[in-house]
Structure 1
């Protein structure tokens, strides 16, 4: 029987084992800090566990509440200099599943499906929640390079007497360096163009084509201005 001798010395083998153990049990919070995920707007009250099976409590992305999530780092992406953290909140009251990817020159979302409470971000427009359906977005050096997936804005109540409970929906895409969400109601009489930049700044333009002339004075009092697409209200802010 031919024996195979290992040429690697015990010191090198111990060092390799130590490095592997260090990576396996590395705290998730350290990795999130190293790759600057906090600079993208992602924050949590507490981060626990290792990079392979961690958890994030009271997670937020800017002003959007994500809730309690499980988090896991992709080892394959590390070899190409990119941190890809898979987030899973399907067991919580706010289902979410997808990933956030960050590298030296880019960041974005990968295959994100979620229902996010909007709070008062888009006030006075009564957007109650934003639903993402398999949405992927990639910003490269601050410029939107790729975007796809369906987005729906759920609205509660009415605006200037016009019921908007049917919501607005559309497909994400890039436009002039920004992420553009061109949304429309089923009737097409209400549309919204939501643009988001890498800095977290956004601009939303809601246009309404009232079928009832009595709604026009109410729209004007609410800040809508007449234009080519009916009456438009522009909102600017930051997540």
Structure 2
């Protein structure tokens, strides 16, 4: 190979490396499937290796401003994987990985996010992830679900203390991701299931233990008496 040809090849490789190193995160989000997975942001800054998503959201879940970077090791294995993290004194820490290839979803998520609007009629304030992984196949069916989630419910009912939230494990059930959550006392239970498009169903059951005042308060909030206590069922989309 002549010296001129070697210089041409070297220049081409350098240009390719420069392009890869400075590839905009904004374009990478669309390419990685992040937008299809429900990731949006008011502004996207930086490169694919060191970017920032300003006022990011996962569907209806606010993530705040997060740092994001494409994983080169995952690319070598044929997986499009975006690591994200947030360090915020007000919102708290949040970190995890977004998978854009099949199956799509998130993995190893830890931290807290708020839930504006709650779960329909169920007044959920915050959602906490504990090693949470949820991934769906191309048909939108649950392919993997692991870890735990915790919901903080702010029900304004005298005698009902849910300050420590309801928590439980995630699993796949009938093609949907499902979490069976319970309070520490076990008197309050919430079953939440959702598909790959973010459509959810939730059932909140409370055992009133023969407390007529609480039963009346729950009925006023839309709960219906059932065999497992008073139950409120709702559905919607994240």
Give the TM-score normalised by the residue count of structure 2.
Answer: 0.91
User: 1:207/1:157 Cα in 2 relative to 1: closer, same or farther (>3 Å)?
Assistant: closer
Paired residues, number: 234
Kindly tell me: are residues 51 and 99 of structure 1, through their superposed partners in 2, closer, same or farther at Cα, counting changes over 3 Å?
A: same
Could you tell me which residue of structure 1 aligns to residue 174 of structure 2?
176
From 102, 107, 113, the counterpart of 2:104: 107
Residue 224 (structure 1) aligns with: 223
Q: Which residue of 2 aligns with 1:50?
A: 47
Q: Is the 8 A contact 1:126 1:158 kept in 2?
A: no
> Aligned residue for 1:134?
131
- Secondary structure of 2:27's match? helix
Distance 1:40 1:90 in 2: 23
Q: Which runs of 5+ in 2 are unaligned?
A: none
Distance 1:145 1:168 in 2: 24
CA shift, 1:206, in A, is 0.2
**Residues 1-239 of structure 1: pairs in structure 2 closer than 5 A:** 9-94=6-91, 95-103=93-101, 105-141=102-138, 142-159=140-157, 162-211=160-209, 212-239=211-238
Aligned alpha-carbon RMSD (Å): 2.1
Rounded Cα–Cα distance in structure 2 between residues aligned with 1:81 and 1:123: 38
1:67, 1:92 within 8 Å by CA — same for their partners in 2? Answer: no
Shift of the alpha carbon at 1:92?
A: 4.8
Give 3-state SS (helix, strand or coil) of 1:119's partner: coil
SS in 1 for 2:11: helix
Q: Which of 120-129 and 202-211 deviates more?
A: 120-129
Answer yes or no: is the 8 Å Cα contact 1:182–1:193 preserved in 2: yes
Q: Which runs of 4+ in 1 moved over 6 A?
A: none
1:227 to partner: Cα distance: 2.3
The runs of 5 or more residues in structure 1 that have no matched partner are none
Give the CA deviation at 1:140.
1.5
In the TM superposition, residue 161 of structure 1 has moved relative to its aligned partner by 6.3
